Amino acid sequence: MNTKELNQALQTYIRTDTFPVGIKIVKAEDDLPEKTKRPMRDFGYQITICQAVGFSRRYGWSVAMNGSDLSCPIAQVAFGYEPQLPFYTEGNLACGMYTDSLEAGAASEQDVPKLSAEESGYYVSYPLDRATVEPDVVVIYGNSAQVMRLVAGMLYKRGGSIPSTFSSRADCADIAIKPLQTGEPQVIVPCYGDRLFAQTQDHEMAFSFHYRDAEELVEGLAGTQKGGIRYPIPTYLRYQAEFPPTYQKLNHLFAEKEEKA
């Protein structure tokens, strides 16, 4: 299944408000897709990973970045651009903001999925319908009902449930790195930075998956729709409305008039 077919299926079954996004780790600058924007070169400033995804899903831009384009120190470590210095591993970034102790902060940082320097490369995000390269991971932002449909679609053949973890931090790593490392799709509760820097709204969640699972997901979306699991969620309307007493009295008077006629 190519990216355009996947994008069309997602619009048919999910109807997202923003573009589904492909994410790829590209090793060499010469292999970057054409017309890809580089934050420092084209914007004149560094951005976060979540901003790159925001540009792709809201503006339809392809964005490529490495450590020189990246402003977030947590992402610098997570995506293998900088080493895990003691100040980071000791929990100093989390302590006092997300945790009440360095020990808890250190546990939080240890839990962030990470690429090694050897695995690292240019982080590239782009809207699926304009893809010129095959993504490693696809992420879709939507409301909880749309994410529920995606979960149902992915489980149509495999059954069971989707294991996901939530920490309120570094969702960029959960979106891109965790599916690559585990092979499993992820339900994403957007982190504080995603909301603050990338303007992700309170009603939004996300779902990411390894691109190799695209065909399975689409078959599942089709199968579950045929089975009656659809978006928009159908509203139950097959009932008779109940009115206030004065309305009921007028209806009664109408009925009396008909009887006398």
DSSP bridge partners of 207:
140, 187
Q: Which residues contact 142 (CB under 8 A, 6 or more apart)?
A: 14, 16, 17, 150, 204, 205, 206, 207
Share of the chain above pLDDT 90, in %: 96
Helix (H) or strand (E) holding 122: strand 122-127
Residue 97, pLDDT above cutoff 80? yes
Give, as one character, the DSSP assignment of residue 235: P
Q: What predicted TM-score, i.e. pTM, was given to this entire model?
A: 0.92
Residue 261: pLDDT band with limits 50, 70, 90:
confident
Q: What angle (nearest 5°) sits at the alpha carbon of residue 197, between those of residues 25 and 52?
A: 25
Residue 191: pLDDT band with limits 50, 70, 90:
very high
Q: Please give the torsion angle defined by the CA atoms of residues 99, 84, 24 and 179, in that order, rounded to the nearest 10 degrees.
A: -50
Number of H helices, E strands in the chain: 10, 6
Q: How many CB atoms lie within 10 A of CB 42?
A: 12
**Distance (Å, rounded) from C-alpha 53 to C-alpha 245?**
54
- So what's the pLDDT on residue 260? 84
Residue predicted with more confidence, 259 or 226? 226
Residue 58, pLDDT above cutoff 90? yes
Phi, psi of 38 (to 5 degrees): -110, 125
**Distance (Å, rounded) from C-alpha 177 to C-alpha 112?**
9
pLDDT digits 0-9 by tens, 224-248: 999 999 999 988 999 999 999 999 9
Q: Please compute the mean of the pLDDT values over residues 32-61 and round it to a whole number.
A: 97
Residue 259: pLDDT band with limits 50, 70, 90:
confident
- So what's the pLDDT on residue 221? 98
Residue 258: pLDDT band with limits 50, 70, 90:
confident
Q: With H, G, I as helix, E, B as strand and everything else as coil, classify residue 202.
A: coil
**Distance (Å, rounded) from C-alpha 169 to C-alpha 62?**
24
pLDDT digits 0-9 by tens, 103-132: 999 999 999 999 999 999 999 999 999 999
Tokens of 216: 């399975």
